């Protein structure tokens, strides 16, 4: 099961019920924190997450609402005696700031620490785990900014239970079939094609995070057809001039982006603090994307994704 958890759904000015941007993705036993606005460590505790169990931190860009919470979070990790490795992906300009604040404390002396600078010009695979990858891609904001893709690797094909019960394949046969091989019945000489004895694996989970950006078509094939697209929508269409000048999107533009990427679901967040209610964002976005596929982000939103349940319990 994969979890998407919104910790902060606001933007530059945090509100009591709408903290600055941050979210945590739980996938295959790993915890990925995306952006780290002011108060992120409070939100982590508030919604039941361990500060010391984060594996990756992805910082989209160096505007304060997306990284000011990082310093307090790292300080707490040090105070709590963290020993687990931590990798941060961010703009290289963050390195001297961390060095000034923490001096030698992030040198690996206290816990294994790795800082990897982002590339703001190209699509890149930045982490490769056994069952999923994390990628970055450039966005169009007032400072260098990356979006992120978290995507499961394609699982092996499922072997039909009826085939196993009838033919009793060996362990090696099963391994071969899962990798796309056919099956030869040694008793009869009958060859069974792979597509006759297997079913397609579940569609891989994919999550695209579009941080602050002006509206544009994003033509990287790797991020097309995501299960979930999280995209910022700081303003409504009535503020289109402000959105363009600050290189943000309106709800209408966010919905058009979701349509262009062929997302299954759209999560809208990063709302400007001037909006006390966000219901109008849904109304505006639903003109361009199916209303029942739009989710308005709020602090504490949790989305569980489980696409692995097979009725006949194939192997």
Whether 65 is a known active-site residue: answer yes
Predicted confidence at residue 189, as pLDDT, reads 84
- Look at strands 302-305 and 2-8 and give their pairing: antiparallel
Least Cα distance to 168 among 137, 197, 139 occurs for 197
- Cα 274 to Cα 307: distance, rounded to the nearest angstrom: 38
- Cα 51 to Cα 39: distance, rounded to the nearest angstrom: 12
Predicted confidence at residue 122, as pLDDT, reads 96
- Cα 307 to Cα 201: distance, rounded to the nearest angstrom: 10
pTM reported for the whole predicted model? 0.90
- Cα 254 to Cα 234: distance, rounded to the nearest angstrom: 10
The beta-strand segments (E) located in the chain are 2-8, 22-27, 30-36, 56-58, 86-90, 113-117, 124-128, 132-138, 146-152, 158-159, 183-184, 191-192, 198-199, 206-210, 228-232, 265-269, 294-296, 302-305
Predicted confidence at residue 202, as pLDDT, reads 81
* In the chain, domain spans: 2-155+201-305, 158-199
Q: Quick one: CA torsion of 51, 52, 56, 61, rounded to 10 degrees?
A: 40
CATH H-level, domain 2-155+201-305: superfamily: Ribonuclease Z/Hydroxyacylglutathione hydrolase-like (3.60.15.10)
Predicted confidence at residue 307, as pLDDT, reads 59
Using 50 as the pLDDT threshold, list the residues of the chain that sit under it: 308-315
- Annotated catalytic residue: which of 65, 299, 306, 312? 65
């Amino acid at each position: 099961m994969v979890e998407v958890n919104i910790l902060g759904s606001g933007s530059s000015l945090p509100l009591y019920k709408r903290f600055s941007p941050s979210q945590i993705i739980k996938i295959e036993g790993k915890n990925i924190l995306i952006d780290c606005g002011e108060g992120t460590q409070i939100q982590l505790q508030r919604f039941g997450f361990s500060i010391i169990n984060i594996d990756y931190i992805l910082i989209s860009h160096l505007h304060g609402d997306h990284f000011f919470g990082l310093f307090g979070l790292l300080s707490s990790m040090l105070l709590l005696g963290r020993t687990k490795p931590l990798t941060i992906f961010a703009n290289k300009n963050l390195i001297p700031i961390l060095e000034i604040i923490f001096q030698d404390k992030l040198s690996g002396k206290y816990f294994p620490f790795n800082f990897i600078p982002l590339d703001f010009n190209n699509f890149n695979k930045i982490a490769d785990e056994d069952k999923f990858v994390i990628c970055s891609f450039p966005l169009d904001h007032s400072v260098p900014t990356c979006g992120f893709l978290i995507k499961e690797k394609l699982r092996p094909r499922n072997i039909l239970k009826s085939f196993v019960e009838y033919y009793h394949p060996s362990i090696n046969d099963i391994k071969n079939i899962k990798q796309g091989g056919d099956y030869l019945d040694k008793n009869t000489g009958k060859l069974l094609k792979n597509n006759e004895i297997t079913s397609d694996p579940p569609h891989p989970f994919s999550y695209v995070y579009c941080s602050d950006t002006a509206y544009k078509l994003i033509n990287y094939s790797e991020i097309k057809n995501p299960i979930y697209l999280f995209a910022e929508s700081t303003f409504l269409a009535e503020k289109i001039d402000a959105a363009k000048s600050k290189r943000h999107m309106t709800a209408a533009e966010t919905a058009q982006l979701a349509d262009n990427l062929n997302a299954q679901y759209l999560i809208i967040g990063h709302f400007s603090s001037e909006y006390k209610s966000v219901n109008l964002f849904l109304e505006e976005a639903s003109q361009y994307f199916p209303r029942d596929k739009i989710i308005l982000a709020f602090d504490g939103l949790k989305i569980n994704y489980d696409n692995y349940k097979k009725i006949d319990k194939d192997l």
